[in-house]
Amino acid sequence: MTAEIIKITKQRSKFGGMVYLVCFKSLTGKSYISYLAPKFRNFSRWKKVLSTGVTLTGLKLSSKGKNLIDADSRFSVVGK
């Protein structure tokens, strides 16, 4: 899936620490979200592209929810 980051909110995690709630808009206009935590290893990929207006491709949906993007997706940047 290809989607653009439209909003990033930093908030407290219910497990302790901070997480980023990232909101996406797909090319079809559907809204998606993902939760990114700096303490997880996948965050090293995300921190390089974590900015509104960045469009990513290769995003996969999580099995935990129909509008939840899997933070382990192997994405690439399409544009900004």
What confidence score (pLDDT) does residue 29 get?
96
Q: What is the mean pLDDT of the chain?
A: 94
What confidence score (pLDDT) does residue 65 get?
77
Instruction: Look at the chain and count its residues.
Output: 80
In this prediction, residues 27-40 reach a mean pLDDT of 95
Kind and range of the H or E element at 18?
A: strand 18-26
What confidence score (pLDDT) does residue 59 get?
97
Closest by CA position to 33, among listed 2, 63, 1, 70: 70
DSSP 8-state symbol, 25: E
In this prediction, residues 30-56 reach a mean pLDDT of 95
pLDDT > 70: percent of the chain: 100
Please give the backbone phi and psi of residue 23, each rounded to the nearest 5 degrees, phi first.
-105, 135
What confidence score (pLDDT) does residue 79 get?
84
Kind and range of the H or E element at 43?
A: helix 43-46
- The domains of the chain are located at 2-79
